Chains A and B, each alone.
Chain A
Amino acid sequence: MSSLLEVDGVSVSFDGFRAINNLSFNIGDAELRAVIGPNGAGKTTFMDIVTGKTRPDEGRVLWGEPPRSLLKMNEAQIARAGIGRKFQRPTVFEDQSVADNLTMALKNNRSPFAVLGWRPSSSSDERVQELAAEVGLADQTGRKAGELSHGQKQWLEIGMLLAQEPRLLLVDEPAAGMTLAEREQTTTLLRRLAETRAVVVVEHDMDFVRRLDCKVTVLHQGSVLAEGSLDHVTRNPDVIEVYLGR
């Protein structure tokens, strides 16, 4: 399997604290992966490194085919290269309508002058409607995003990520604050998305991870402790000790 993202021997410390310690991680095209680990294991820092928010002290991060280093790119360039990120807290632009939020995320030329000249067309309208329908907001496109419920905002944000058409989707605790029904919908959606692109889900909730039914990477103190199916890693004595045994 060719790898889409390759993280190799990456370390980063904050004020002497090693948040990520010689971490290596691979993910292929069209793969669903769950990343679990106790608090402070470095899950969010890992995402920050991949999306360009944090620069590692050493190691390399390669992306795509032929491999390019992500370390020289800024957040916007990485996003344009095809890495989308869903934050834990839903971050949508509350002052703007659902349609405006989605339109902004549509895959298009992002340079200021191209955006200045961009005007909506019937195909862009259709695409926005399609995306809104996909995340269950078809009849809410005219509403301000700030009026939506918490769950709907999460969905809108997922819709915006879909509009970006990323090749890799990083999802931070998608199930947080969702009802049981919403969680099931989210699982289904994530699994469907993983058919056409790579999806990395960072999650605390073991039930949710079980439902995703995918390969699991366990992080501990900034490096990979175990990797494999959920049943495989939960039988690993190290994992039991640091994470599940508590």
Chain B
Amino acid sequence: MQRKPFILQNPSTLIVLAGLAVFTVAVTALSQAYGTGALPTSMVKVLGKTLCLALAAVAMDLVWGYLGILSLGQMAFFALGGYMIGQWLMYARTEAIVAASMANNAIPPTPLELQEGVANQIFGVVGSADLPLVWSFAHSLPLQMLLVLAVPGLLALVFGWLAFRSRVNGVYLSILTQAMTLALALWLFQNDSGFRGNNGLSGLQNIPGLDTVSQARLSVWFLWASAVALGLGYLLAAWVVSGKFGSVIRAIRDDETRVRFLGYPVEGFKLVVFTLAAMITAIAGALYYPQAGIINPAELAPIASIYLAVWVAIGGRGRLYGAVIGAVVVSLLSSWFTGGRAPDLSLPFYTIKWVDWWLVALGLSFVLVTLFAPRGIAGLFDWLGRAVSPRRQGRDLGPDHGALQEQEAKA
């Protein structure tokens, strides 16, 4: 049997990547820094952040749509990725400012004095002047980038190992993941956890060493980086779910016990996918927060992870492009409706203000999609595909036993 190359076996991957490329070029051409300026910088940032959310949704789809674990703690990994990169951003920038102010001193500052100055600046708000242990690597970009992958990956590995080994499943596992993100948020809220408590990390939009580059340019650069990350992440996810590995994880989703009796170490597979998804989510977070400019423990609130699940459900779980569509469409609609720019809907007896009613509408559409269109928006493509080319193979042409089958008749 002749095998087609990976990309031809998965035409949807090619379409998504092409769409992403067109989108990126279009936004660049409309940006203030590189194009006509039709899109304000704030809008470019929103679009760049949306791409990061889409990447997190792809990872969520791996875990939920393919492996069948409704994880309600994915945003913990997202925020951890943001915190890890935020540490370097804040430290390096503060260091530059402190060094500049100390440069006028009669005696040049020692490295220790410099570090104390930085610690004072960063932790003054929480009444501390010492650099916590967790900031040991904050001076180094490569180390913090490594931590972007290592910390969420390790958390997912340990959490997953404990949960999967005890065979916690279904709704209990969902509750456990939610407890994880809540616990992490509560810990981060404390001032002495070393992450500035509820102040979080701020000023992340200023990239150290790039002070002369305008935000207009930076926003486009981050959009490019987010697009590349989404493209690569999508390719990786598409490759993982194709072939036998994808077969096995979908089988685990549908009947875990049976997969065990086939001899597959189910826990191992869950652990690999869960950890991989956590790391992809962390990368998305590390690209998101420099565009958002600020991160605080509220980002880990359980509701954020539930939103992610809602996007994937509305987009269509079990399809990677469904996750992308869901995240992009719903998150953009959300920011439009809650941003106060959506016109109020005037009914004779009541005026619907979208800022108040958007959540209700979103919840309602989630319920409707779950009940009536379990395949979400992606199901539309199935429906279109069937309308264009009905499935014919294998159906009998006539009622007789000896009647030709359709594919025989075609030849």
Asked if B394 contacts A76 (CB within 8 A), the reply is no
| Beta-carbon nearest neighbor of A125 in chain B | B1
| Beta-carbon nearest neighbor of A140 in chain B | B394
Q: Give chain A residues whose Cβ lies under 8 Å from the Cβ of B244.
A: 103-104, 115, 118, 120
| A167 within 8 Å of B (CB atoms) | no
Q: Give chain B residues whose Cβ lies under 8 Å from the Cβ of A118.
A: 243-245
Q: Give chain A residues whose Cβ lies under 8 Å from the Cβ of B1.
A: 122, 125
A 107-150 to B, binary, CB cutoff 8 A, 1 in contact else 0: 00011110110111010010000000000000110110000000
The residue from A79, A96, A110, A119 contacting B247, defined by CB atoms under 8 A apart: A96
Identify which of residues 31-52 in chain A touch chain B, using a CB-to-CB cut-off of 8 Å: 51
Asked if A115 contacts B245 (CB within 8 A), the reply is yes
* Secondary structure class of chain B's binding surface, majority of residues: helix
Count the A residues whose beta carbon is within 8 Å of the partner chain — how many? 36
Asked if B245 contacts A76 (CB within 8 A), the reply is no
B 242-265 to A, binary, CB cutoff 8 A, 1 in contact else 0: 011101101100110110111111
Identify which of residues 145-178 in chain B touch chain A, using a CB-to-CB cut-off of 8 Å: none
| Beta-carbon nearest neighbor of A129 in chain B | B1
Identify which of residues 74-121 in chain A touch chain B, using a CB-to-CB cut-off of 8 Å: 74-77, 79-80, 84-85, 87, 91, 93-96, 100, 103-105, 110-113, 115-116, 118-120
Asked if B261 contacts A79 (CB within 8 A), the reply is yes
Q: Give chain B residues whose Cβ lies under 8 Å from the Cβ of A11.
A: none
Asked if A75 contacts B243 (CB within 8 A), the reply is no
Distance A80 CA – B269 CA, assembled complex (angstroms): 16
Q: Give chain B residues whose Cβ lies under 8 Å from the Cβ of A94.
A: 254
| A168 within 8 Å of B (CB atoms) | no
Asked if A76 contacts B248 (CB within 8 A), the reply is no
A-B contact count (CB 8 A): 82
Asked if B245 contacts A110 (CB within 8 A), the reply is no
Identify which of residues 216-243 in chain B touch chain A, using a CB-to-CB cut-off of 8 Å: 240, 243
- Bin chain B's interface residue count: 20 to 34
Answer whether A91 and B393 are a contact pair too, CB < 8 Å, given A76-B263, A103-B244, A115-B248: no
Asked if B254 contacts A95 (CB within 8 A), the reply is yes
| A217 within 8 Å of B (CB atoms) | no
Answer whether A79 and B263 are a contact pair too, CB < 8 Å, given A112-B269, A118-B243: yes
Asked if B245 contacts A79 (CB within 8 A), the reply is no
| Beta-carbon nearest neighbor of A113 in chain B | B272
Distance A112 CA – B274 CA, assembled complex (angstroms): 12
Asked if B254 contacts A76 (CB within 8 A), the reply is no
The residue from B245, B257, B271 contacting A116, defined by CB atoms under 8 A apart: B245
Chain B nearest CB, measured from A200 CB (Å): 15
| A164 within 8 Å of B (CB atoms) | yes
Q: Give chain A residues whose Cβ lies under 8 Å from the Cβ of B272.
A: 112-113, 116
The residue from B247, B264, B393 contacting A76, defined by CB atoms under 8 A apart: B264
The residue from A93, A111, A140 contacting B268, defined by CB atoms under 8 A apart: A111
Answer whether A119 and B243 are a contact pair too, CB < 8 Å, given A93-B251, A96-B250, A112-B272: yes
The residue from A51, A76, A103 contacting B266, defined by CB atoms under 8 A apart: A76
| A201 within 8 Å of B (CB atoms) | no
Distance A122 CA – B263 CA, assembled complex (angstroms): 23
A residues contacting B by CB (< 8 A) are 51, 74-77, 79-80, 84-85, 87, 91, 93-96, 100, 103-105, 110-113, 115-116, 118-120, 122, 125, 139-140, 142-143, 160, 164
Given contacts A118-B244, A120-B244, could you give 8 more A-B pairs where the C-beta distance is less than 8 Å?
A75-B257, A76-B265, A79-B263, A91-B255, A100-B247, A103-B247, A112-B271, A115-B248
Instruction: State the 5 A-B residue pairs at the shortest beta-carbon distance, nearest first.
Output: A79-B263, A75-B260, A80-B263, A112-B272, A116-B245
